[in-house]
């Protein structure tokens, strides 16, 4: 399968933005259930006055998010799925407001609630688009439903719009601060790759996901060949340039939902959701070719890689990393600049023959 290069999109600048988006979506799911539950209870309690049918649009919004979340972790552009689910949910909330009286409804301000989640997922561009859409929906369910009521009482639109802008400003400031601190905690400053802390968090999530779906997960461990000699003979500035360029090339060779982590000085680990062993080996070969295709800082740089996958068994990040390490050592002993699997390592062969 050809890798899908992680090109920027209108909503996400790069794969790190996408990883933050997916991480926040996982955190928001239980909170979203509670929020929709609170709105449903409010509609149930108000049903004798506003009617039972108002629950239908809210139920449709929940279904929209359930559908949008299917296969989200392996989607090439998960940001568009989430944006579509969010837009549909806003439209359904707007329909509920229209059914409960439009400008006379106390629920007009409900449209401002989902805006809190926008800054948690998307860039300022996505937040601005969401606020604009919500403002249009507020106008539609007030002026569009009963223009005279709004003309007589402009506050029925002005107050919800004011709440909308205030919530957007506050949530944006809070999320910018949180994003900065979280980025500093999980991003390697030299290469821009995710670090060991991010790997540990993602590993737990993938273990749970694999237990539910049964899909295999590939693990590739790579180590730049003779990197110590680069530092010793050419200096650490050249060594840093080699690391940064190699990291960039590896990221470009991966699919949008594959993630590469820097786990040591010149050692990297790649997680490949849905990949069996053959697929993991193919991706590892692409990484090897990407690193060595052209000189870096005037030097010929190569990488050795070990690949394994969890097909037919439970995914355990620690065990899989150890297997990939065995394969990496086999690749090093065989002459470097190549890909190996655990079966290529003597210890693995001895274990399989026992």
pLDDT in tens, 221-271: 999 999 999 999 999 999 999 999 999 999 888 876 788 999 989 999 999
- For residues 213 and 314, the answer to whether their CB atoms sit within 8 Å is no
Confidence of residue 179 (pLDDT cuts 50, 70, 90): low
Q: Are 222 and 271 in contact (CB under 8 A)?
A: no
pLDDT, mean of residues 153-182: 83
Give the distance from CA 322 to its chain's centroid.
Answer: 26
Tell me the whole-structure pTM to 2 decimals: 0.58
- The encoded tokens of residue 74 equal 């392996």
**Distance (Å, whole) CA 60 – CA 221:** 44
- CA-CA distances (angstroms) from residue 182 to 24, 116, 262? 11, 18, 17
pLDDT tens readout for residues 105-139: 888 988 998 898 888 778 888 899 999 999 999 99
In this prediction, residue 146 carries a pLDDT of 93
The domain segmentation of the chain, as residue ranges, is: 15-186, 196-353
H helical segments located in the chain? 15-50, 55-69, 78-99, 115-121, 124-142, 147-152, 155-186, 196-213, 227-234, 236-253, 277-292, 317-333, 346-353
CB 192 within 8 A of CB 16: yes
What's the pLDDT at 164?
93
CATH topology of domain 196-353: Alpha-Beta Plaits (3.30.70)
Contact residues for 80 (Cβ-Cβ < 8 A; gap 6+): 9, 11
Q: What is the pLDDT of residue 347?
A: 55
Determine the 3-state secondary structure of 87 from DSSP.
Answer: helix
The confidence score (pLDDT) of residue 345 equals 64
Q: Residue 312: in which H helix or E strand, if any?
A: none
């Amino acid at each position: 399968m050809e890798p899908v290069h992680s090109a920027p999109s209108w909503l996400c600048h790069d794969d790190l933005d996408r990883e933050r988006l997916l991480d926040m979506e996982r955190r928001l799911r239980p909170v979203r259930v509670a929020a929709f539950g609170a709105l449903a209870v409010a509609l149930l309690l108000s049903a004798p006055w506003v009617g039972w049918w108002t629950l239908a649009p809210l139920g449709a919004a929940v279904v929209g998010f359930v559908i949008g979340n299917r296969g989200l972790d392996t989607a090439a552009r998960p940001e568009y799925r989430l944006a579509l689910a969010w837009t549909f949910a806003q439209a359904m909330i707007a329909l509920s407001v229209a059914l409960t009286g439009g400008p006379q409804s106390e629920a007009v301000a409900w449209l401002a609630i989902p805006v809190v989640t926008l800054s948690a997922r998307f860039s300022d561009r996505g937040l601005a688009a969401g606020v604009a859409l919500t403002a249009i929906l507020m106008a539609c369910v007030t002026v569009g439903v009963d223009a005279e009521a709004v003309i007589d009482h402009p506050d029925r639109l002005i107050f919800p719009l004011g709440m909308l802008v205030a919530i957007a400003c506050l949530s944006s400031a809070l999320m910018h601060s949180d994003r900065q601190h979280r980025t500093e905690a999980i991003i390697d400053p030299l290469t821009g790759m995710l670090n060991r802390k991010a790997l540990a968090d993602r590993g737990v999530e993938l273990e749970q996901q694999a237990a539910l779906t049964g899909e295999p997960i590939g693990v590739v461990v790579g180590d730049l060949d003779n990197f110590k000699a680069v530092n010793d003979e050419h200096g650490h500035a050249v060594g840093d340039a080699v690391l940064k360029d190699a990291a960039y090339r590896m990221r470009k060779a991966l699919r949008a939902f594959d993630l590469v982590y820097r786990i040591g000085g010149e050692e990297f680990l790649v997680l490949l959701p849905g990949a069996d062993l053959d697929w993991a080996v193919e991706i590892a070969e692409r990484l090897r070719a990407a690193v060595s295709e052209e000189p870096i800082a005037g030097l010929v740089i190569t990488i050795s890689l070990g690949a394994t996958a969890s097909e037919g068994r439970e995914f355990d990040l620690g065990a899989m990393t150890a297997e990939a390490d065995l394969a990496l050592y086999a690749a090093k002993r065989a002459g470097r600049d190549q890909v190996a699997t655990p079966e290529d390592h003597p210890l693995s062969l001895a274990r399989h023959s026992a």
